Chains A and B, each alone.
Chain A
């Protein structure tokens, strides 16, 4: 690089303000990267209000693709199915995760094993779990004849447990357990202490976990794609199927609606999230 020392160029008196942290050129790349992160999604949102058919040249504002999506029976059914699965799976997963989190506040044999089990699905490529579930559910289906939404809900609930567990656990760790002991001193039964002291304090963490699980379930593509039976499309698998044909702005309209829903839920999550609270 250059032989000239960067600090040498400055007058000696101003040496203290030499920007040590700055590395030239990095800021420009950083701002461009963050802009690039948002530009395509922004373009997609703008395009969903496009009056034209599939070209990108702007032909005027219109809501016709939203109307088209709403009038499409398949889209409506897929959306309702997505909501049903996400709501059921997140409810089941959050209850299970909360119970496991409460159990983990006490040391007991097997604690580490349970912790490992809960965190096992996190780093695994989803396609592996999808293939495994396909095999298991196919044999259950052959044995029992049941072909309802239960499989999707069970699969989603399983991968939502670790997702819901983290915020609940984080919240629980920030609670002073002496409060529970104080309640016991005041003749509360363990159940009363939990019901009146611990549970209300945990509530924001539980809500955050449930919302995150809901969002993750709503967005899931791969496991749903493999587990679903014919005619059981969720919104993401429906969209994936549509992408094989010509893409119309209808997909953009559905995507924009999903982005809006996710954004609202994530904002609520960030407000409830315990790490944010600790910082402020």
Chain B
């Protein structure tokens, strides 16, 4: 600074000074947000990673002794005797179930979401805003309350059972709650807007003359749908599927409320390690594992998107 002031005060020096002051001001302005996120988001993630390499305390918490036992335990368990090492069937089953239910959720939301998005995108403009608004409201409203609404529908004395008995379909209430089907239904319900919104965004940009050209060239409806509509909607399909898959994979509330012990998913397993089981390092390792899975899916997504952009050029 001192050398700058003593040197011949040219215009460029003034500019450099103003620039550095502007940079400093910009950083100062960003500081509260940066600090907040370092203390409340990024920092804790690092702590989580460190915690997964420590040993569990007796009643929750950790002992400052490094070890990879937690990581070992995510996949293996020492049998009952203690010396026989075997795969942790319970954990693997939960991983598999999480992936399976998430994929099924993607399929169901796509089957319902694609027609919905296409329908909305082909409405005249003023109408379209209203329909879109109807999808956006559930998107922003409480996931817990929407899950409770499904709970009200399917529980023993709920709407569906009462109606079915009243009509005479069944005599005894069906057991729908606490099953994998209930979790799938609930997840498809709460995550449907996540599928519709990106799909709509890509269908809205369609050049519908391409469909017309397809029909002109004697394609039938199925061919036009299969060869023109679906490829054009590609980016929306990928984005919607990723959003729904990632959200379902980490879902905690919906499986907890609608599922039972036999339909637990990975987030419930993480929660269990921090509450009843009091094995924090194992919980941390499982959380990092989930984070890695999500990151991999997102990276694949971004690369697909980049490849598509490159194709466009």
Contacts and interface: CB of A to CB of B under 8 A. Distances in A.
Contact of A131 (B43, B193, B283): B283
A18 B215 contact: yes
B144 A236 contact: yes
Given A117-B42, A131-B283, A266 B37 contact: no
Nearest to A18: B215
Interface stretch (A60-68, A174-182, A200-208, A252-260): A252-260
A229 to B, nearest CB: 14
A212 B145 CA distance: 17
A31 B131 CA distance: 10
Contacts of B274: 131, 134, 226
Contact of B119 (A6, A27, A118): A27
Between B44, B116, B150, B161, the greatest number of chain A beta carbons within 10 A of the residue's beta carbon is seen for: B44
Nearest to A251: B148
Interface string A99-122: 110111010111100100110110
A33 B189 contact: no
B108 to A, nearest CB: 11
A128 B287 contact: yes
Contacts of B157: 54-56
B115 interface: yes
B250 A21 contact: no
A25 B158 CA distance: 31
A266 B138 CA distance: 11
A24 B32 CA distance: 54
Interface string A25-60: 111011101101110110110010000001111000
A95 B225 CA distance: 48
B162 A56 contact: yes
Given A117-B34, A129-B44, A131-B284, A21 B211 contact: yes
B142 A236 contact: yes
Interface in B9-35: 22-23, 25-27, 29-34
A133 B267 contact: no
Nearest to B119: A30
B252 A108 contact: no
A221 B145 CA distance: 11
Contact of A103 (B29, B60, B189): B29
Nearest to A136: B44
B118 A219 contact: no
Q: Is the interface of A mostly helix, strand, loop or mixed?
A: helix
Q: Is the interface of B mostly helix, strand, loop or mixed?
A: helix
B36 A158 contact: yes
A136 B47 contact: yes
Contacts of A262: 140-142
Nearest to B159: A56
A157 B29 contact: no
Contact of B48 (A41, A128, A215, A239): A128
A157 B32 CA distance: 11
Contact of B40 (A18, A106, A155): A155
B61 interface: yes
Given A219-B143, A239-B148, A161 B270 contact: no
Contact of A123 (B161, B208, B298): B298
B40 A108 contact: no
A243 interface: yes
A92 B140 CA distance: 21
B222 interface: yes
Interface of A: 1-7, 18, 20-27, 29-31, 33-34, 36-38, 40-41, 43-44, 47, 54-57, 92-93, 95-97, 99-100, 102-104, 106, 108-111, 114, 117-118, 120-121, 123-136, 138, 142, 154-155, 157-159, 161, 165, 212, 215, 218-219, 221-222, 226, 236, 239-240, 243, 247, 251-252, 255, 258-259, 262-263, 266, 270, 279
29 contacts: A6-B220, A23-B221, A26-B114, A34-B135, A37-B135, A38-B134, A40-B146, A40-B149, A43-B153, A56-B158, A99-B29, A108-B22, A110-B27, A111-B26, A117-B33, A120-B41, A127-B287, A131-B287, A132-B47, A135-B280, A136-B44, A157-B40, A165-B33, A219-B143, A243-B148, A247-B155, A263-B137, A266-B140, A266-B141
